[in-house]
Amino acid sequence: MTIALDTNILCYALEPAYPEHVALEKLLLDLSPANTIALNPTVIHETYHVLVFYSEWTPDEAARRLTMLLKHPHVEFYNQTRTVTQVALNIAAKLGIDGRDALIIANYLTNKVPTLYTHDIQLLKLKKIVWKNSSLKPEDPLQK
């Protein structure tokens, strides 16, 4: 099963300084054909920003680690498209969420990923997001 990752979950999994790291480090270590993750440009670039500007990784190290992740055979990467952007605008207006969260959600919805791992309280309050014949359920992997 493919699980979509929000920026906060990817940051926790990559950065040992987060207390949440211990609970989530296996998320990336245990990838397999039966256990894949989904990422998109917004999540990758937000993660880069957090790692470099808040966790004080060098830009080269952050870029290297994220590039390695993008090349991993059990990581699905979904591009942003015009359709994703249009869906995101509609979702942002309908749900009252910010543009970046809407882009992340729209990307996973249009690619039919059923579950989003997030630690974002606002997204978790949404319970289930539906668009056409696709739905996305935000879950907090730290509460499992």
Q: Which domains does the chain have, with CATH numbers?
A: 2-143 (3.40.50.1010)
What distance in Å separates the CA atoms of residue 87 and residue 106, rounded to the nearest whole number?
6
- pLDDT at position 93 is 96
- pLDDT at position 1 is 87
Residues 121 and 142 sit within 8 Å (Cβ to Cβ): no
pLDDT < 70 positions in the chain: none
- pLDDT at position 3 is 98
Residues 65 and 24 sit within 8 Å (Cβ to Cβ): no
